[in-house]
Chains A and B, each alone.
Chain A
Amino acid sequence: MADTPAPAIAAPSVRTVTPVMLVALSILGGWLVLALAAPVIAPYDPDAIDILNMLSPPSAAHWFGTDQVGRDVFSRVLFASRVDLLLCVAGVLPPLVIGTTIGLLSGYFGGLVDTVFMRIYDLTVAFPFFVLVLAIVGVLGPGLLNFILALTLVGWVSYARLVRAQVLTIRESEYIQAARCLGYPPAAILAHHVLPNAIGPVIAYAVSDAVLVMLAGASFGFLGMGAQPPLAEWGVMIADGQAFVQQAWWICLFPGLAAISLGLGFALLGDGLGQLQRRGVTA
C-alpha cells in the first residue's frame, strides 16, 4: 500500500478567469479587432484632406467630426489604434526579453556580473522614468524608433530587478540543487527550471508596463518627440487638436477616450494576472 493518498483537494485552477479579467480581455480584444479591421470599418481615408469640411462637429457623415484640415476623426482614431497597439508591444517586448535575460544571469550566477548590472540599475532608477526617456530621445532625435530604443534602454532594468529577486529565492530551492547535482548544464537549468518558475510576476508586470508605454507613447507624440505627423497616433492627434479645443472639442476628446480605454484594459488585465499570481502562490 502506498502512503497517505494524494490530497483530494482539487487544486483551484490557476487558469480561472476572474470577472475583472473578462472585462479587460474584452476591451483589449475589441481594440485588437478594431485595429485589424480598420481599413474595412473606417469610412474615410485617415489622411484624406477635405478643406470644405474642416472642423465639422460629429454628424451622421462624420461620427467623431473632422479636424482642422477636414480629416475624419473616427477613421483616424481607428487607424491610430494600429500604431498605438504596436507601440505597446514594441515598447514592452524588447525590455522584457533583455531584462529577463540579464535578471536570470545576474541572479543565478551572482558575482561580478550581478554587481555591475545592479549598479547600472541604481543609476537608472536615480532619474525619473520620463525625464530619462526624454533625455535619450532628445539625444537620438525624435521618431517612433528612437522612442522605442529609449524605452528599452530605460525599461529593461525593472524587469531585470524583478527577475533577479525571483531567481535569488528559486536558486536556493532544492529542485535547483537537485538539477545541479544531476549534472544538467547551467543553460538548461536556467531555461527549463528557473525561468518557468520566475516568469509569472514578470508577465503581470509587463501588462501594467504596457499602460505606461502607451501613455508614454501618447505623451511623446503630443510633445512631438514620438510619432511624427501626419501619421495618425492618439497623442499626435490630441496635440494637433489642442489649438482648436475651444471650438472643436471632438478632435481631442475621441483619441483621448480611446487612449484611456486601452490603458484601462491593460491595467485591469495586469490586476487580474496579479490576483491569479497570488492565488497560485497560496494554492
Chain B
Amino acid sequence: MSGLRNGMPPLLEVKDLSVSFGEFAAVKNVSFALRPGEILGIVGESGSGKSVTCRAVMRLLAAAARAEGSVTLEGRDLLALGEDELCAIRGRDIGMIFQNPASHLDPLRRIGEQVAAPMIRHLGITRREGLKRAVALLDDVGIREPEKRARSYPHEFSGGMKQRAMIAAAIGCRPKLLIADEPTTALDVTVQARILHLLRDLNRRTGLAMILISHDLGVVADICSQVVVMRNGEVVEQGPIDDVINRPRHPYTKLLIESQPGRKTYGTADGPDGGKPLLSVEKLSVSFSTGGGLLGGLGGGGAFKALDGIDLEIGAGETVGIVGESGSGKSTLARSIIRLNTPGGGAIRLDGQDIGALSGDALTAFRRRVQMVFQNPYDSLNPRLTIGEAVAEPIWRHGLADRKTAQKEAEALLEMVELPASLYDRKPRQLSGGQCQRVGLARALSLKPQLLIADEITSALDVTTQAQILELLVRLQRERSLTLIYISHDLSVVSSLCQRVYVFKAGRVVEQGVAQQVLSRPQHPYTQALVGSLARLPAHTGTISQPV
C-alpha cells in the first residue's frame, strides 16, 4: 500500500503510533515507513498532529503526553529506550531542524561553535577539529566565506542563513535521518526555494533520509518522493507523491489540492478601462528613523527608507495585487493609504483629492470610503468585544444608524460573510482564525467602503481556509463592486485573484502589469526569481476556471 519495495528494510518504521494529552488524542494509530535515502513528506493543517508525530519519534514530547505503539529505527524501538540511550541517538542518528531557526540558536555563541557542538559531543573529536569540520559544513550548506561566517553571531545572519546553519549543525554527525519541521515556513519564498534545493541536494549527495513536515503541499511535492497526509491526528492518505497528487482518493486530499493557490483563477470583475483612476499614488516616500533610542536625536543620520518614490494608479472596480517579500514596503504603503503613517514625500490622491490634507468631516468621509482588513485574525479584533459589537460599532459611531439598528445591520453583515447568527455573542478567542478574518471583513465592509485594502489577510490561515476566504472576498468584490488592493507575499495567490500586480522590492516598484503576464513572462530579474521559487504542484491539467 505505501509501495514498499521488497528487500530493503525500512530505516524508520512507525506502527500504530498514538499520542494523547490527557483526554485529547492528538495522534491516532499513525503508521508509516521510511527507507534509507528517501524523503517522506507529512502534510496537514495546524492541529493535524504532524509535529506531535515527529516529536514522538524524537521522544521530545511534554511530560503530560502519552505515546503508544512502536517507533523502530533500524530495529531499535525508540519508545522503549532510556534517556541515556536516547541522548546518544538524538543529534547523532537523528537530526532535527525547526520552523524558527532564530529561537533554536543561542544568541551568545558563535555560529561555528554551535555547529561544532553536536560533533564534539557525539563523535568525541577535539574542539579544534570540530570547528574545522563546522567550517566545511557551513561551506556544504552554501554559506559564503564560511571561515569568516563561523565566527559570526546569530544576529549577524539572515533568516535563511540561520536555517542553513541549523541544517549544518543537524547533519554534522552524519545522521541517518533528518527531521525537518516546517523548515521554510518563516522564510521568504525565494529563500524557501533555495533551502528546499539544499535539502534535496543533501539527499542526493549523501543519501540522507528525511522527513519533511509542512502545511504546504507545494513544498512537499517539490522534494518528497513519498507523502503522508494527516488530518485530526489520523493518516487519511499516503503513497508516492505523484499518485497522491494526480489521483487523490480521500476527499480531504482532493480539497487540499484544490485549495493550493494558483490552482484556480477567481473571476474578479473587470474594472472599467480608461477613465480617471480612483486612487493614485505619486512619488510616495516614507522613511523611519533607525536610531530611535537615546542617541537617535543626536545622530540624526540613519533613516530607513521603507518606500522610495512609489507611483501607482488604481481604477474604480479594479482588483490590484501588491507582491513583495517582508520588508519590501508593501504594508507601509497600505498604512500610508489609510493614513496610519505620514509620508515623507509625494502624494496619495483619492478621486484627485490629496488625502494628506484631509481633516475633520472630510477625513471622516474618507474613512467611510477606504477600509482595510488586517493580517492577524486574532490581534485585529478587540478581545473584550463580542464580534457582533465589533461589527456594529463603526455603524453607530459614524451616526449611520442608532445602536439598535446597527446591531441588526451587523447581523446582516455577519450573515453576508457566512458566519452563523449563533456566533454573534462570541468573543474572538472562541472563534477559529478563519472566522475571525471573516469578522474583520464584515467590520471593514460595515461602512460600505469603495476601496478595500487586504493586507496579507490569509497568511496566518491554513491553505483550505485561505481558499474559502479568497472565494468570499471575490464574491463580495463582485456584489459590492469594490475596488480591491490585495497585498501578499504569495505571487500565486495574487495572480489568481488580481487583474494587475505591482511587484515591490526594497521600497520600489520593480515590475507592474497584467497579472497573468507578470506570472508567465516576468521581465525583472527579481520577479523572475519570485516566479521561479513558487513551490507549485507538478504540472496539472491547467487552471480550473471557477464557475461563479
Interface size class of B (residues with CB under 8 A): 35 or more
Q: Which residues of chain A in 118-154 are interfacial with respect to chain B, using CB atoms and an 8 Å cutoff?
A: none
Q: Are B432 and A182 in contact (CB under 8 A)?
A: no
Q: When the two chains form the complex, which single residue of A2, A11, A184, A192 contacts B430, counting CB atoms closer than 8 Å?
A: A11
How near does chain A come to B232, taking the closest CB pair, in angstroms?
10
Cβ-closest chain A residue relative to B431: A6
Q: Are B381 and A175 in contact (CB under 8 A)?
A: yes
Q: Are B379 and A174 in contact (CB under 8 A)?
A: yes
Q: Are B418 and A2 in contact (CB under 8 A)?
A: yes
Q: When the two chains form the complex, which single residue of B335, B383, B419, B426 contacts A197, counting CB atoms closer than 8 Å?
A: B383
Q: Which residues of chain B in 370-413 are interfacial with respect to chain A, using CB atoms and an 8 Å cutoff?
A: 371-372, 374-376, 379-384, 393-394, 397-398
Q: Are A7 and B432 in contact (CB under 8 A)?
A: yes
Q: Are B338 and A181 in contact (CB under 8 A)?
A: yes
* A278 interfacial contact with B, CB 8 Å: no
Q: Are A11 and B429 in contact (CB under 8 A)?
A: yes
Which chain A residues lie closer than 8 Å to B433 at the CB level?
4
Interface size class of A (residues with CB under 8 A): 20 to 34
A113 to B83, CA, bound (A): 58
Q: When the two chains form the complex, which single residue of B382, B384, B430 contacts A6, counting CB atoms closer than 8 Å?
A: B430
Q: Are A180 and B340 in contact (CB under 8 A)?
A: yes
Cβ-closest chain A residue relative to B24: A9
* B112 interfacial contact with A, CB 8 Å: no
Which chain B residues lie closer than 8 Å to A5 at the CB level?
432
Q: Are B432 and A178 in contact (CB under 8 A)?
A: no
A-contacting 9-mer, from B11-19, B89-97, B158-166, B461-469: B461-469
A11 to B393, CA, bound (A): 25
Q: Are B435 and A3 in contact (CB under 8 A)?
A: yes
A277 to B393, CA, bound (A): 27
Q: Are A183 and B367 in contact (CB under 8 A)?
A: yes
Cβ-closest chain B residue relative to A188: B397
Q: When the two chains form the complex, which single residue of B375, B423, B426, B443 contacts A182, counting CB atoms closer than 8 Å?
A: B443
* B193 interfacial contact with A, CB 8 Å: no
* A62 interfacial contact with B, CB 8 Å: no
A3 to B437, CA, bound (A): 11
Q: Are B382 and A197 in contact (CB under 8 A)?
A: yes
* A173 interfacial contact with B, CB 8 Å: yes
Q: When the two chains form the complex, which single residue of A3, A7, A173, A178 contacts B372, counting CB atoms closer than 8 Å?
A: A178
Given A175-B381, A180-B340, A193-B382, the answer on whether A4 and B368 have CB atoms closer than 8 Å is no
A197 to B364, CA, bound (A): 26
Given A2-B420, A183-B364, the answer on whether A174 and B430 have CB atoms closer than 8 Å is no
Q: Are B379 and A173 in contact (CB under 8 A)?
A: yes
Which chain B residues lie closer than 8 Å to A3 at the CB level?
432, 434-435, 461-462, 464-465, 468-469
* A196 interfacial contact with B, CB 8 Å: yes
**15 extra interchain contacts, Cβ-Cβ under 8 A, other than A4-B433, A182-B444?**
A3-B468, A3-B469, A4-B45, A4-B432, A4-B434, A6-B423, A174-B379, A175-B380, A178-B381, A178-B440, A182-B394, A183-B367, A183-B397, A184-B397, A197-B383
- A-B contacts, 27 of them at CB < 8 A, read A2-B434, A2-B468, A3-B432, A3-B464, A3-B468, A3-B469, A4-B45, A4-B432, A6-B423, A6-B426, A7-B430, A174-B374, A174-B375, A174-B376, A175-B380, A175-B381, A177-B335, A177-B380, A180-B340, A181-B367, A183-B363, A184-B397, A188-B397, A193-B382, A197-B382, A197-B384, A283-B429
Chain B contact residues, CB within 8 Å of chain A: 45, 335, 338, 340, 363-364, 367-368, 371-372, 374-376, 379-384, 393-394, 397-398, 418-420, 423, 426, 429-435, 440, 443-444, 447, 461-462, 464-465, 468-469
Nearest 5 interchain pairs by C-beta? A183-B367, A3-B434, A174-B380, A174-B374, A3-B465
